Structure 1
Amino acid sequence: MATVILVRHGRTTANASGTLAGRLPGVRLDDVGTEQARRTGERLAVVPLAGIVSSPLERCKQTAKALLDARDRLAEPTLRISSEKGISECDYGEWQGRPLRELAKEPLWKVVQSQPSAAAFPGGESMATMQARSVAAVRRHDAAIEAEHGPHAVWVAVSHGDIIKSVLADALGMHLDLFQRINVDPASVSIIRYTGTRPYVLASNTHGGDLSWLKPPPAKKTRSRKGTGQGTGTRATTTASDDAPVGGGAGPSVHP
């Protein structure tokens, strides 16, 4: 039951000008986006992280670096940022670099809005392919982090709006044709916990609020057994159920 925090990159110069950046090089955070990323880094600094994985595009790497900088200021161990092509921006092909106001006049625009599962960008990829590879990448990293760090591990994936929307849609059991109902703002935080039975969407498109409830629970001490020569030790608790609490449950416990 590892937990992934999905962070969209901060606002970019292309976002501010209404341009579809896609995978064009040189698209960086603007001043607003830099401040957004800084605030998100401070918000996440209270959560012990097992890893940070980023899209290889510059705006995501800048955002991931801001998350690291916030942790360094609090004297926490520095994490290494891993690059993952599977959560890179959608390949919009011939659409990238064009103003959104022009693209809205294209016949394909209505397909992207109402039936994205049928949308394929000229010279690029389809939205169905985008979702398949991004979900596969997130689930692969999640399984690897849980195997290495345990079921209470928390990690961050820094990616793009449509990528995060498609991953959330998959976790919610929504058809891709409904994913435009999900909103993911720059530098927002969404949270998914994958389990053996189903994914749980714990948060979506959040901009503020305490995240200390994501801290792993303290290790439990084990009592020594008579006649074994074994002393008191510690073990991580793994008793959390994969089942949904009927009635809603009591919510997360905060571990100061």
Structure 2
Amino acid sequence: MRHGEVENPTGVLYGRLPGYHLSELGLRMADQVAEHLAGRDITHVVASPLERAQETATPIAKAHGLDLASDARLIEADNVFQGKTFGVGDGALRKVANWKHLTNPFRPSWGEPYVDIVVRMMQALDAARDRARGHEAVLVSHQLPIWTVRSYVERRRLWHDPRKRQCTLASLTSFTYRGDRIVSVGYSEPARDLVPAHLLAGAKPVKGQGKAFGA
């Protein structure tokens, strides 16, 4: 699960910075997803150590009478622009000081390598699978790590256009295992009615969504 909306009035790229909590809307998103999952056979809930992920996971754990676990492998991707405003149209690409960080979009040169994200996220997925074997687990993380590991599992290239990620606020990306192997991936948005319309605009269906990978 991706965390809910964050209180971020200055619009910075908050990354791994502490002190960024869910907004009132984000808390409502977390509650709505918890209600959506209330009837599921969930025996393990684990989240990134960042506040927004912990706050998103809390009502889910509470609804199932579980202690909330923390896993640093689920944390947001590292980024050199953390704490700054950096986005399309804000002039950041025209700042010479930023150019040295923008030389290789395939790695990427401005942050944690995609391959490193895949390794730690797969480790977190496998650990949760083992902890909840025969049942279900909920892991709360962040958009880029979730999208990167999904792209790896669905055999897509890891570098991509961030505007085309299918991983909106409070969405669920589901990995189904048979034994130790992922056999299918699904995606849903149980809090879609709460997500601001402009954030849903780019959430188009992805080829291979729900794809099964065999026995």
How many Å apart are 1:173 and its aligned residue? 1.6
Answer whether contact 1:135 1:170 (CA < 8 A) is retained.
Answer: no
Is the aligned partner of 1:169 residue 2:151? Answer: yes
Answer whether contact 2:128 2:137 (CA < 8 A) is retained.
Answer: no
The runs of 5 or more residues in structure 2 that have no matched partner are 193-211
Is the aligned partner of 1:50 residue 2:61? Answer: no
2:86 counterpart (92, 97, 100):
100
Answer whether contact 2:36 2:190 (CA < 8 A) is retained.
Answer: no
Is the aligned partner of 1:83 residue 2:70? Answer: yes
2:132 counterpart (129, 145, 156):
145
Q: Deviations over 1:112-139 (max 9, x none)?
A: 4xx2xx2133xx6323212221122212
Q: Which residue of 1 aligns with 2:6?
A: 12
Distance 1:60 1:85 in 2: 11
Q: Is the radius of gyration larger for structure 1 or structure 2? A: 1
Aligned pair count?
A: 188
Distance 1:184 1:163 in 2: 10
Distance 1:135 1:120 in 2: 22
Larger helix fraction of residues: 1
How many Å apart are 1:51 and its aligned residue? 0.3
Distance 2:156 2:183 in 1: 13
The runs of 5 or more residues in structure 1 that have no matched partner are 1-6, 72-76, 210-241, 246-256
Give me the TM-score of the superposition, normalised by structure 1: 0.65
2:108 counterpart (100, 119, 131):
119
The one-letter amino acid paired with 2:147 is: K
TM-aligned CA distance change 1:197 to 1:88, over 3 Å? closer
Q: Deviations over 1:66-116 (max 9, x none)?
A: 2234x2xxxxx5111111011111111x3111112358514445844xx2x
TM-aligned CA distance change 1:189 to 1:110, over 3 Å? farther
2:187 counterpart (204, 208, 232):
204
Is the aligned partner of 1:188 residue 2:171? Answer: yes
Distance 1:54 1:186 in 2: 15
How many Å apart are 1:46 and its aligned residue? 1.2
Taking the TM superposition and a 5 Å limit, the aligned residue runs for 1:34-73 are 34-69=27-62, 71=63
Tell me the percent identity.
26
Answer whether contact 1:185 1:205 (CA < 8 A) is retained.
Answer: no
Q: Which residue of 1 aligns with 2:15?
A: 22
The one-letter amino acid paired with 2:158 is: L
Answer whether contact 2:103 2:109 (CA < 8 A) is retained.
Answer: no
- RMSD between aligned residues: 2.7
Answer whether contact 1:165 1:179 (CA < 8 A) is retained.
Answer: no
